[in-house]
Amino acid sequence: MTAGISRTAIYVAAARAIGAREPDPAARNPDDLAEKFLGDPAKLDVDHPVVNALGLDYDEAMKDAEVVGNVRMMTVRTRFIDEALQRAVAGGATQVVILGAGLDSHAYRFSELLAPVKVFEVDRAATQALKRQRVEETLGGPPPNLTYAPIDFEHNDLPHGLARHGYDPSQRTFFVMEGLTMYLPEEALRAALGFVAGRPPGSSVVFDFVYRPMVEKLAMMKTAEVPAAAKPFVDRFLNLIRDEPWLTGLPVGGEREYLRSLGLELREVLPIGGEESVKRYLTRANGTQLGAEALAAAMARMAERFRANGQAAGAAAPTFSAEQLREQQRIMAYQLADAVVA
């Protein structure tokens, strides 16, 4: 059933699906189609807690801190992108291009808003075949303004590939690059962003990214060197991206200059998990935070295991200043960005 589709596409859609079960709309993931597009969890060949949690009820699933962490991340990401899409269309975008679409649901969830807009989903042919099958089975077919465009944009076929499918480069366009930038080679990422920058003024793009040290750290990471308390989480993530490695990160603190060099002006950067993202997207109407109790309990357990392992080894725990910890968190943070053609 899932042959040929990205493992990470399944994993992030599962996190969106579980987040969509949150009772409070103030902290709910709005992607109510993710679960339909995934289909029967028993047929998914990705062994990960967030995928396995699809078979649990919501309260039970959200007792697992690893599930909670992924649900929170995807809730912030989905809502940030949704808002950027709505702003772009209100601002005059007449085309929407979703790069690396996977199981993206924007064309279907926002069918009324996007009715006068041409939408293009760009992805590998194998992934699109499954997507189209699930859309037919669950929705009876795609909206009439949607075009599926199987394009190898990693090899700079984006301009010609989109043109072949009816894209008009003279019209203001909104681009979505969700869960994509870190998987592209540097040259392909610059080419894709450069293509966006060549569109008419007012065109814009929303994307997520990590900084270069995070990519470099993952490339060099050896699980044998990871503390025992963190090893299961690291092992699972490395296995998940085994066939889809992270390749590219943006320069630390240099994202504005990086984008400007390509012809784009950064409007906002939002660290996922930062105070602002929690306030905007993860706080319920009663003031509680989505998944906060499970995360606090998990952090306490992990801290205790670190202490126990350190004592057993006779090693003193390393100490860091508050400033060092803040800088480390900034460098390793997962970021969302909204940029416009200069």
Residue 32 DSSP symbol: T
Average pLDDT score, the chain: 88
265: β partners: 340
Q: Per-residue pLDDT tens for 192-209?
A: 999 999 999 999 999 999
Q: Per-residue pLDDT tens for 128-159?
A: 998 999 999 999 999 999 999 998 777 778 99
DSSP of 15-26 = HHHHHTT-S-GG
- 53 pLDDT exceeds 80? yes
pTM: 0.90
Q: Is 313 exposed, middle or buried (0-12, 13-18, 19+ CB in 10 A)?
A: exposed
Which of 286, 334, 78 minimizes the C-alpha distance to 182? 334
Q: Percent of the chain beyond pLDDT 70?
A: 86
Confidence of residue 323 (pLDDT cuts 50, 70, 90): low
Q: Please tell me the CATH superfamily of domain 7-214+239-276+331-341, with its number.
A: Vaccinia Virus protein VP39 (3.40.50.150)
Q: With contact defined as beta carbons under 8 Å apart, do 46 and 11 qualify? A: yes
Residue with the larger pLDDT of the pair 41 and 9: 9
